[in-house]
């Protein structure tokens, strides 16, 4: 998170970069910043990521999306 390439920072970047999300995404941005703070504090205190952050993986792409490059 220190280098701001974590998933929370990336999502915040999208919210701030898409004009239509600036207002509607404000509450989501606040929750994301809260999670960043929680994760950062936990890592500094325990020297490991939160278990739910450490175990997180991207969900698999659907077979249709993977084979054609787009969802059907």
Does residue 1 sit within a domain?
no
| pTM for this predicted structure | 0.69
Domain hosting 33: range is 7-68
32-44 tens-digit pLDDT: 999 999 999 999 9
Give the model's pLDDT for residue 29. 97
Integer Cα distance of 60 and 62 in angstroms: 6
In a domain, 49, yes or no: yes
Q: Is residue 44 part of a domain?
A: yes
- Quick check: is 2 in a domain? no
> Across residues 42-63, what is the average pLDDT?
87
Residue 42 located in a structural domain = yes
> Is residue 53 in a domain?
yes
Domain contains 25: yes
User: For the chain, what is the domain count?
Assistant: 1
Alpha-carbon span 11 to 56, nearest angstrom: 16
Position 23 in a domain = yes
């Amino acid at each position: 998170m220190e280098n701001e390439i974590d998933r929370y920072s990336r999502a915040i970047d999208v919210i701030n970069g898409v004009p239509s999300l600036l207002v509607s995404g404000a509450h989501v941005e606040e929750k994301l910043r809260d999670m960043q703070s929680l994760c950062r504090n936990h890592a500094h205190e325990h020297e490991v990521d939160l278990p739910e952050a450490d175990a997180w993986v991207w969900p698999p792409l659907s077979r249709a999306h993977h084979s054609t490059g787009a969802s059907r």
